[in-house]
Amino acid sequence: MGILAFVEDRPTPKAVYNWRVYTAAAVASWASCMIGYDSAFIGTTLALPSFVKEFSLDKMGAAELALTKANIVSVYQAGAFFGSFGAYASSYYLGRRKSLLIWCTVFILGAGLMLGANAQRGLGLIIGGRVLAGLGVGGASNMVPIYISELSPPAVRGRLVGIYELGWQIGGLVGFWINYGLQETMEPSHKQWIIPFAVQLIPAGCLLFGAIWMKESPRWLLSKGHRDLALKNLCWIRNLPPTDLYIVEEVAAIDAQIEHDRIHVGAGFWKPFAALKERKVQWRFFLGSMLFLWQNGSGINAINYYSPTVFKSIGITGTSTGFLTTGIFGVVKTVVTVIWLLWLIDRLGRTKLLMFGAAGGSICMWIIGAYICVKGADAKNPDAQLSGGGIAAIFFFYLWTAFYTPSWNGTPWVINSEMFSQNTRSLGQASAAASNWFWNFIISRFTPQMFNTMGYGVYFFFASLMILSIPFVYFLIPETKSIPLEHMDELFAIQGTRRAHAIMMERLLCEDEEFRHDASGAGLTVEKAKAEQVESV
């Protein structure tokens, strides 16, 4: 079997890999388009001359300007932190689909509020609107990976959750390029800077209308006792009849997991919190949160939110040139994300990608920091020419992007969407998403001050954190590719992280052979399988 081959946990009918599951993932990923766009457009919008003039940013001192920009950017992450936890409550009572609709509506309200800002009203509406938009994206960042993960066949779960990441990058690509286009084609005006804020409504509107077609997660429905609708939705998504052995086996595994959680965790809104007393549950929550510490420690969100500042530190001068360089950064991220999505995440696996990306990205950051330390950048001279060393630094910046994107950009979201049991999945994903937005907030809040005080040391700081992430992944994170969601507890219970995946896959193949042998000629149905699985719990 080749290193890039798909690995199935059991014989899988080709009908399972159908357009419905891919389309459901794509529709849900409009949420990540709005997140990606929001993350990307704000940095270059704050640098637009029309925005600077309307809100008198050019009259502020360096410290006041840094604080103002940091507040505009970081209140979004603060809202997203609380939205992540709010989505746990909404998904528990209302389900994944309705919850996503609610948080999308909150985002639309925030985006609309921002459009009322002008010189007379000041920045208050933008800041308030970004808080609401942050609440919306925080809730969406919790819901979408869970929803897609619960719909996905194990062999392509990474690819399907990866569509969420692709949506993020496509939104980011538009966000990075939109202000370059406006700068080049439109005279500075109120309309020039309000357009990027208005574009936020497009992906949110597509999600709102697309969600009408989406099906509720069968796993959530089964956990709430809506068995008939759950089976109907699962058969529709898998494109198989309810009597197919694949459906019977999948439902039996879900039933067994739900029964196991009912016995060992308990049913109810607060029971997953009570489960946090268990060391094994605490451990997975810790791992999920730490993945986002390392992700943000790579420096990605310093670049996303303050790309003009980052490129200025390397030696890129001029508004249009800075916007163009930022736009190319967005193109590189999007192209590499497609490669990650189609060929790497479900073939090479999660942990290998994380370690390889951290090693290569760290080297690039050390080189960029060393160039700025030794040569420096004449950022105060708008007519300065970029030196050969500066061009090399730009090359290594894009090379860093090529290392980071197929590793730490989307892989932590994939792992967190699949590593928790059914009863703790919503809370676990809420914790992980909140961790992402917390560290996102810290980076976005203090990046301007870090560049003012540390200079090239900022790059050394991020390079060091990327190196430290490698032993963390190697010793603590088991490979999760192709493992069914209902068997994650078993995977994490195996001693020896590096061998856990191989042991689990061998165990799954043996269990599948036994199940099919018992089912042969026994007339096994979903209800019979449920009874047998529950008896074995």
Q: State the chain's mean pLDDT as an integer.
A: 88
**Is the model's pLDDT at 206 over the cut of 90?**
yes
**Which range, of 285-294, 339-348, 400-409, averages the lowest pLDDT?**
339-348
- Using alpha carbons, select from 311, 373, 361, 352 the residue that is nearest to residue 463: 361
Q: At what angle do helices 319-339 and 30-47 cross, to 10 degrees?
A: 160
Residue 4: pLDDT band (50, 70, 90) is very low
**Is the model's pLDDT at 2 over the cut of 50?**
no
445 within 8 A of 74, measured Cβ to Cβ: yes
Q: What is the spatial distance between Cα 351 and Cα 502, in angstroms, rounded to a whole number?
A: 14
User: What pLDDT was estimated at residue 441?
Assistant: 86
User: What pLDDT was estimated at residue 523?
Assistant: 59
User: What pLDDT was estimated at residue 445?
Assistant: 80
Residue 88: pLDDT band (50, 70, 90) is very high
Residue 1: pLDDT band (50, 70, 90) is very low
Helix residue ranges per DSSP H, 375-424: 388-404, 411-418
Neighbours of 437 (CB within 10 A): 27
User: What pLDDT was estimated at residue 96?
Assistant: 94
Question: Any residues with CB less than 8 A from the CB of 39 and at least 6 apart, and which?
Answer: 168, 171, 172, 175, 301, 304, 305
**Is the model's pLDDT at 525 over the cut of 70?**
no
Q: What is the spatial distance between Cα 277 and Cα 25, in angstroms, rounded to a whole number?
A: 34
Indicate whether this model's pTM tops 0.75. Answer: yes
Q: What is the spatial distance between Cα 458 and Cα 442, in angstroms, rounded to a whole number?
A: 14
Q: What share of the chain is helix, strand, coil (3-state, %, to 5)?
A: 80, 0, 20
**Is the model's pLDDT at 293 over the cut of 50?**
yes
**Is the model's pLDDT at 461 over the cut of 90?**
yes
